[in-house]
Amino acid sequence: MNAPTLQDIREAAIRIAPLAHRTPVLTSRGLDEICGAQAFFKCENLQRTGSFKIRGASNAILALSDDEVRGGVVTHSSGNHASAVACAARHRGIRADIVVPNNTPKAKQETAAGFGGEIHLCEPTLAARQAAVDTIQQRTGATMVHPYDNPLVIAGQGTAALELLADIPDLDAVAAPVSGGGLLSGTAIAATGLKPGIQVFGAEPERADDACRSFHSGKLEPLLTSDTIADGLRAALCQRTLDVIRAQVTDILTVSEAQIIEAMKLIWRYLKIVVEPSGAVPFAMLMAHRERFAGRRVGLILSGGNLDLEKLPWQT
Amino acid sequence: MNAPTLQDIREAAIRIAPLAHRTPVLTSRGLDEICGAQAFFKCENLQRTGSFKIRGASNAILALSDDEVRGGVVTHSSGNHASAVACAARHRGIRADIVVPNNTPKAKQETAAGFGGEIHLCEPTLAARQAAVDTIQQRTGATMVHPYDNPLVIAGQGTAALELLADIPDLDAVAAPVSGGGLLSGTAIAATGLKPGIQVFGAEPERADDACRSFHSGKLEPLLTSDTIADGLRAALCQRTLDVIRAQVTDILTVSEAQIIEAMKLIWRYLKIVVEPSGAVPFAMLMAHRERFAGRRVGLILSGGNLDLEKLPWQT
């Protein structure tokens, strides 16, 4: 398959049930007053491994045949997909090699290693990531579990929206952060499949806005900068995710670094949960583009909560 | 009544239902490995107003007659009870005057003011708190809602343990932080009432250890220092709470400042939730006294999540 269907996402939900938590949906009157909308936070920071990534990784790894996992699995990831692949591989009893850019927060590297993944550091470019994966595959014969250019991964990520809409059926819109587009694609397929007419938004940092530009131009635009504080959103769309997003997403809206930090701090303060910068991007979008969402009921995929606690972004 | 009964706590649960959330119970394999026990965190940091205090304050305020609230309510509090009284008073449509020691974190002062409470700063001693309350009462005729020396407040606080044991019935022990003893008294009455033979522990900072000393001597011992980082635990027991605790609590165990900070950081990192220092004290106890809890199933009242996010205790 090229892109998964709603049925694939439903099957993913059954397949990943032994590994992934059903996460809660939190709300806050205080945050609703601040953003002028009604926000429903799907708390994937409380997910196993600290992010939604376990959904896609475990769906892909559990669906592989015994033959396909003989050499283990390999992937590249700026952090959360790394932990997810390591966790799912351990669950299946196979080896996981993980290529991690050397600018990934230490907390994320340690978490992945803690699940038993073998970490290989590389330069922080997509080319260097792929080269390192190729080298490992030649040596071990491992199967690549791509962080987003994989229909099983996309189907797994879509299970978060499936649960969100089961808990809060009367949403006007859903929003997810966008990096490589796996989460946004899965969210769009699940949400529009369950509820035709629902709006689906991608939320993206201005400083990694390839998805916004690609969405509007219709072709894959290069990532020009990748130094956003939202360290989970430094990858670029692929043709597979761009096709889904062009077909099923309402719009992709961008936010500034300052807006991400402000949103993150408000979530910590009002919801009392630890969210990483990437996970705060959809709420930042709600505040930055409030005219689009005034008074509406918006589900936000709060993607993860892994970050270094030594220094927080709002601290000078 | 002098001390509430299990039946009073059950009635409190019904009375406060319109105001208090039923909070989730979280677990973490990682934290269980670290402490060597099975910990069940009753997340009162996710409670309305950010702490368990809304339970006792709303039970007391909703139980008062119209005549008793004509002059509004008044209280003194190092923070969380202040917000709780302000929130419950606003719900009932009455005035709340709140006396707050001037060493209370700014975040807690602002939260209380945000609920419509009138804040009056005083010196950080119990004598100064009481004097300020007396002055306000003489002027307004307000009814005092004591933070813990009040059976309705104690009954309200006990509703957290009621919910915890309903969700996780097979606990070997429950633990709560202890300051004035309202939460610990209510927890003990609820837990031993529901499950005779269950052990109940108070967890207290070494630097505010009056409850531990009073528990062992049998009489009210003075608070010698009150500069612990656990700013919610700087009050001392009263005769009413000491009597309940002596009769129904298994032991009170103390922890160092470093242990509180370590426990707090671990909770942030593994549970992805924001807990204030006071709320981390029971988990600090589990780690500091691990021989007492090895392999046992222990419910911990994670009391609150209100703190200044500008500088965290583990940051130098």
Q: What is the pLDDT of residues B214-242, one digit of tens each?
A: 999 999 999 888 789 998 898 899 999 99
Q: Which residues of B touch A (CB under 8 A)?
A: 24, 26, 45-46, 50, 107, 265, 268-269, 271-275, 305, 309-312, 314-315
The token pair at B33 is 């490995």
DSSP letter, residue B155 = H
Instruction: Identify the closest residue of chain A to B310 by CA–CA distance.
Output: A315
**In chain A, what are the domain boundaries?**
6-51+153-302, 54-144
* Helix, coil or strand: residue B51: strand
pTM of the model: 0.94
Contact B315 A315 (CB under 8 A): yes
Check residue A202 and give its pLDDT. 98
Q: Are β-strands B25-26 and A199-205 bridged in parallel, bridged antiparallel, or unpaired?
A: unpaired
Helices (H), A115-204: 126-140, 151-167, 182-194
Which chain A positions have a beta carbon within 8 Å of B314's beta carbon? 309-310
Contact A50 B272 (CB under 8 A): yes
CB pairs under 8 A between A and B: 49
Beta-bridge mates of residue A203: A177, A253
pLDDT of A226 strictly over 80: no
Nearest one of A74, A110, A116 to A93, comparing CA atoms: A116
Instruction: Say what the ipTM of the complex is.
Output: 0.92
Contact B309 A311 (CB under 8 A): no
Check residue B293 and give its pLDDT. 98
Check residue A104 and give its pLDDT. 84
pLDDT per position as a tens digit, A157-171: 999 999 999 999 999
The token pair at B200 is 């109940």
Instruction: Identify the closest residue of chain B to A29 by CA–CA distance.
Output: B48
Which chain B positions have a beta carbon within 8 Å of A313's beta carbon? none
* Fold (topology level) of B54-144: Rossmann fold (3.40.50)
The residue with greater pLDDT, B279 or A127, is B279
The helix or strand, by DSSP H or E, that contains position A30, with its residue range, turns out to be helix A29-35
DSSP letter, residue B222 = P
pLDDT per position as a tens digit, A197-223: 999 999 999 999 999 999 999 999 998
Contact B310 A315 (CB under 8 A): yes
Å between A71 CA and nearest CA of chain B: 28
Out of B51, B78, B185, B303, pick the active-site residue. B303
Count CB-CB contacts under 10 A for residue B198.
Answer: 20
Check residue A281 and give its pLDDT. 98
Which chain B positions have a beta carbon within 8 Å of A269's beta carbon? 107, 274, 309
Pairwise CA distance, residues A78 & B272, whole Å: 19
B245, amino acid identity? I
Instruction: Identify the closest residue of chain A to B275 by CA–CA distance.
Output: A272
pLDDT in tens, chain B (316 residues): 699 999 999 999 999 999 999 999 999 999 999 999 999 999 999 999 999 999 999 999 999 999 999 999 999 987 899 999 999 999 999 999 999 989 888 888 888 888 999 999 999 888 999 999 999 999 999 999 999 999 999 999 999 999 999 999 999 999 999 999 999 999 999 999 999 999 999 999 999 999 999 999 999 999 888 789 998 898 899 999 999 999 999 999 999 999 999 999 999 999 999 999 999 999 999 999 999 999 999 999 999 999 999 889 998 7
The helix or strand, by DSSP H or E, that contains position B95, with its residue range, turns out to be none
Check residue B104 and give its pLDDT. 84
The question of whether A265 is a catalytic residue gets the answer: no
Contact A309 B274 (CB under 8 A): no
Beta-bridge mates of residue B119: B98
Max intra-chain CA distance, chain A: 56
Pairwise CA distance, residues A53 & A79, whole Å: 10
What's the Cα-to-Cα distance from B185 to each of B159, B161, B203, rounded to whole Å? 11, 11, 12
Instruction: Identify the closest residue of chain B to A46 by CA–CA distance.
Output: B272
In this chain, the answer to whether the domains covering A6-51+153-302 and A54-144 adopt an identical fold is yes
The question of whether A65 is a catalytic residue gets the answer: no
Check residue A105 and give its pLDDT. 82
Contact A312 B314 (CB under 8 A): no
Query: What separation, in Å, do the N-terminal and C-terminal C-alpha atoms of chain B show?
Result: 48
Contact B315 A311 (CB under 8 A): yes
Check residue B77 and give its pLDDT. 87
Best residue in B167, B272, B302 to probe A by mutation, most A CBs within 10 Å? B272
Q: Which residues of A touch B (CB under 8 A)?
A: 24, 26, 45-46, 50, 107, 265, 268-269, 271-275, 305, 309-312, 314-315
pLDDT per position as a tens digit, B54-110: 999 999 999 999 999 999 999 998 789 999 999 999 999 999 999 998 988 888 888
Check residue A156 and give its pLDDT. 98
Pairwise CA distance, residues A93 & A140, whole Å: 16
Nearest one of A303, A312, A296, A219 to A35, comparing CA atoms: A296
Pairwise CA distance, residues B159 & A301, whole Å: 32
Q: Which of B274, B310, B314 sits opposite A272 (nearest CB)?
A: B274
* Close Cβ partners of B33 (under 8 Å, ≥ 6 residues apart): none
The token pair at A30 is 């205080």
Query: What separation, in Å, do the N-terminal and C-terminal C-alpha atoms of chain A show?
Result: 48
Q: How big is chain A by its Cα radius of gyration, in Å?
A: 18
Å between A38 CA and nearest CA of chain B: 17
Pairwise CA distance, residues A136 & A76, whole Å: 11
* Helix, coil or strand: residue B18: coil
Pairwise CA distance, residues A178 & A221, whole Å: 14
Contact A273 B272 (CB under 8 A): yes
Check residue A47 and give its pLDDT. 96
Best residue in A46, A272, A315 to probe B by mutation, most B CBs within 10 Å? A272
Contact B26 A45 (CB under 8 A): no
For the segment A289-311, the average pLDDT, to the nearest whole number, is: 95
A164, amino acid identity? L
Å between A174 CA and nearest CA of chain B: 23
Check residue B14 and give its pLDDT. 98
Q: What mean pLDDT is reported for chain A?
A: 95
Domain B6-51+150-302: give its CATH architecture.
3-Layer(aba) Sandwich (3.40)
Contact B310 A309 (CB under 8 A): no
Count CB-CB contacts under 10 A for residue B107.
Answer: 17
The CATH number given to A6-51+153-302 is 3.40.50.1100
